[in-house]
Amino acid sequence: MLEGLKKVLTNVSTRGAMGEIQAERILEQILAPAQYGKNVKTHPECKGQVEFAIKLPGIDGTMDEPVWLPIDCKFPKEDYERLLDAYETGDKKAVEKAYSTFESNVTAKAKTIRKEYVSAPHTTDFAVMFLPTEGLYADVVRRPGLFESLQRDHQIVVTGPSTLAAFVNSLQMGFRTLALETNASQVYNVLGTVKTEFVKFGEHLGKLHKQLNTAANTIGGDGESIQRRLRAMERALKEVEALDSPSNEIMNLLED
């Protein structure tokens, strides 16, 4: 297994593309194309371009002037090969020596990423170092204090394929929360408009009510008086309807 991995590592072009392909595959599976960039110049005073950078909302909360989160792919090939060789021999001293060199290399790469790509407020105050194999990432985590030192002293978060996916997923949840907050803001604006129109509608009803009261008073009395008159008229009409065919009696009186 180690021999097969070393054969892959000996091909420089394969090794160089490996990290980028892995990282891009993870990003495109989770984020929309507009949510990240490739070969982005994140530091205004440095010429270098970071391989990937995720767009985050700017100070004003919009994407008009985004804050970039740099992600750089690293693969310390030679030092990692020596570490694998030391593992194969089982020599503890050789493993420790190789580990020490490997740690120095990773730390140096973290310093480079920080220097060339991190520039707040144009970027976040930290960057991500992506290691394209789980084994490589595991060896960084396994080294006592290395992972914490990279975060604390150099503001570099080290990720492997699985952890980068989890990290980006958490950012995507943040994007969705932001979208919900933005939509909520729009909803409140609509509700504000509805409230204004409802107040106007209430004022209009108030005026109409006054006009109706005036009309009722003109007719004679208030609304209750009108209702009493209507009920009296209804009773009278019912009595008229209750007459038992009065037409013959009326006709006889007219004939007399």
Neighbours of 80 (CB within 10 A): 24
> What percent of the chain has pLDDT above 90?
33
Q: How would you classify residue 245: left for phi > 0, otherwise alpha for psi between -120 and 50, otherwise beta?
A: left
Where does the pLDDT of residue 233 fall: very low under 50, low under 70, confident under 90, or very high at 90 and above?
low
Q: What is the mean pLDDT of the chain?
A: 76
**How many whole angstroms from its chain centre is CA 235?**
69
The answer to whether position 14 is within a domain reads yes
Q: How far apart are CA 192 and CA 73, in angstroms?
A: 48
Mean pLDDT is lowest, of 72-76, 88-92, 140-144, 218-222, for 218-222
**Is residue 233 included in any domain, yes or no?**
no
Do the domain assignments include residue 185? no
**E strand spans, 66-154:** 67-73, 127-130
**pLDDT of 88 over the 70 cut:** yes
Give the pair of three-digit tokens for residue 69: 């989160």
**The predicted structure's pLDDT at residue 8:** 47
Percent over 70 (pLDDT), the chain: 61
Dihedral (CA of 228, 230, 233, 234) sign: negative
Domain span holding position 77:
2-180
CATH of the domain at 18: 3.40.1350
Q: How many domains does the chain have?
A: 1
Residue appearing with tokens 């194309």: 33
AA letter at 101:
T
Contacts of 87 (CB under 8 A, 6+ apart): 2, 95
In a domain, 207, yes or no: no
Which pLDDT tens digit goes with each residue over 143-199?
899 999 999 999 999 999 999 999 998 888 877 766 655 555 554 465 456 556 645
Of 46-55, 202-211, 227-236, 240-249, the one with minimum mean pLDDT is 240-249
User: Residue 185 and residue 203: Cα distance in Å, rounded?
Assistant: 27
Distance between alpha carbon 142 and the CA centroid of its chain, in Å?
33
R_g over Cα of the chain: 41
| Cα–Cα distance measured from residue 118 to residue 103, given in angstroms and rounded to the nearest whole number | 21
Q: pLDDT band at 62, cuts 50/70/90?
A: low
CA separation for the pair 105, 52 (Å, rounded): 21
Distance between CA atoms of residues 108 and 53, nearest Å:
21
Report yes or no on 86 lying in a domain.
yes
